[in-house]
Amino acid sequence: MVRLSLKEKIAFKFVFNEKIYQRWYGRFLSFGVDYWRLKRVISRIHNWLQWCSEWTKEGDEVYKKGEEALKEGYKTKAKEMFHEATACYHIGQHIFFIDSAQKEKAQEKARTSYKRAISLSDEEDRPIFIEIPFNGIKIPGYLRLSNSPNMPLVIFVNGMDNIKEAEGHAQGTVFKQNGFNFFTFDGPGQGELWKDMKFDSKEYHKAVSAIIDWFMKQDQYNIDLSRIALVGFSLGGYLAPMSTAYDKRVKCTVGNSGLVYIGGLAGLKRLNPIWQRGVTYMTGCETLEQAVNKFNWDIEDSPNLQVPLLFYHAGKDEVMPSPKIHADKMMKWAKGEKILKYYEDGEHCTQNHLDEVFPEIIDWLKDKFEMH
């Protein structure tokens, strides 16, 4: 039985209001769930505690449709059903930090479904699973190769609760279609790697550099490694620019809605209880007091960023207090070429403006890498 504090009960009752969580619709739709399926599942859910179980149940049904389609010889339908099942499982586990057992079970199903889906892709389009050694464990990720040789590499840095099989796949498709090589991974405290290594803000950039080290040693993928960019959304909107500052091999970076400073224990306690649960989950700690040493930073304590930065922030970001302060701090810290795109009416990760944001990111990266 999940035990919630009074503060959490109030917060979860508030978030489980369609006027609130419909903010996430754009994000959910972007990685492959059908709009009407989204509406049908949500209509069955009457309490936040049901969220993960109902979405997992829906994922099981869609996965079954994929298996049936495959038996009937409908390969394309089967592939799409497996991708949509992955999306359902991911939606179910997304920010469901109140029950790690349910969350991990849903994530594991997402990974299984994703593997079934990509096994049905044409070989030239199939994501390549890669495990990269780091501090005695292996960072899992998927590489999407450009259809042209010697093109740049975009490394996508996850947020607090992305997984490489959902956002990573959807965004990888966009970047691949525009000529980029794209690598998505689960870092420390994220997705598949969570069970082996928890999040530590002081160590994360080292994992990113280990990924770049690995690519530098490869010669079979025909990637131009003189042109590397990091892109990150949400927590990744901080982690990508920060990691770029530590690794001079990265030539430019994009961040969206980065939480660029915490402010110690007092700052953690100002976060919504949903995200407080995320902090303890990522770090593997039981309390914020235990977690603060691993989840506390100020972007200005990192080396100043010297390469081009494109940074987005949202005036109505419900995840963090005072988003404009975070945007201003990021701009002060970055010393190279920099652009701030601030949407006064923007939701977290500018998800109500992604139809503008994604093409703009693509164009900006093409310009930086002279892809004409």
Q: How confident is the model at residue 317 (pLDDT cuts 50, 70, 90)?
A: confident
C-alpha–C-alpha distance, residues 350 and 342, integer Å = 9
**Which SS3 state, helix, strand or coil, does residue 336 take?**
coil
The gap from C-alpha 271 to its chain's centroid, in whole angstroms, comes to 19
Which helix (H) or strand (E) segment is 232 a member of? strand 223-233
Q: How confident is the model at residue 130 (pLDDT cuts 50, 70, 90)?
A: very high
Three-state SS annotation for 90-133: HHHHCCCCCCHHHHHHHHHHHHHHHHHHHHCCCHHHCCEEEEEE
The lowest-confidence range among 26-30, 112-116, 274-278 is 26-30
Q: What is the mean pLDDT of residues 150-157?
A: 98
pLDDT tens for each residue of 242-274: 999 999 999 999 999 989 999 999 999 999 888
**Which SS3 state, helix, strand or coil, does residue 6 take?**
helix
C-alpha–C-alpha distance, residues 227 and 338, integer Å = 18
pLDDT of the residue at 16: 56
C-alpha–C-alpha distance, residues 156 and 186, integer Å = 10
pLDDT of the residue at 371: 94
Mean pLDDT of the residues in the chain: 93
Give the residue, 324 or 70, on which the prediction is more confident.
70
Place of tokens 């997304």: 94
Q: What is the mean pLDDT of residues 174-182?
A: 97
Q: Amino acid identity of 233?
A: F
C-alpha–C-alpha distance, residues 109 and 89, integer Å = 7
Give the residue, 321 or 191, on which the prediction is more confident.
191
**Which SS3 state, helix, strand or coil, does residue 367 take?**
helix
C-alpha–C-alpha distance, residues 90 and 163, integer Å = 8
Domains of the chain: 6-119 (1.20.1440.110), 124-261+297-368 (3.40.50.1820)
Rounded to the nearest 10 degrees, what angle do helices 75-93 and 35-44 cross at?
40
Q: What is the mean pLDDT of residues 176-180?
A: 97
pLDDT tens for each residue of 5-60: 766 666 666 555 555 566 778 778 888 899 999 989 988 988 888 999 999 999 99
Long-range CB contact pairs, 13-21, < 8 A, 24+: 13/48, 15/48, 15/274, 16/45, 16/47, 16/48, 16/51, 18/42, 20/318
Q: What is the mean pLDDT of residues 69-88?
A: 98
Q: What is the mean pLDDT of residues 309-323?
A: 87
Q: Where are the alpha helices (DSSP H) in the chain?
A: 6-15, 18-21, 25-30, 35-44, 51-71, 75-93, 100-119, 167-177, 204-216, 235-246, 264-270, 273-283, 288-291, 323-333, 354-368
pTM summary value: 0.95
Tokens, residue 336? 């190279």
Q: How confident is the model at residue 363 (pLDDT cuts 50, 70, 90)?
A: very high
pLDDT of the residue at 102: 96
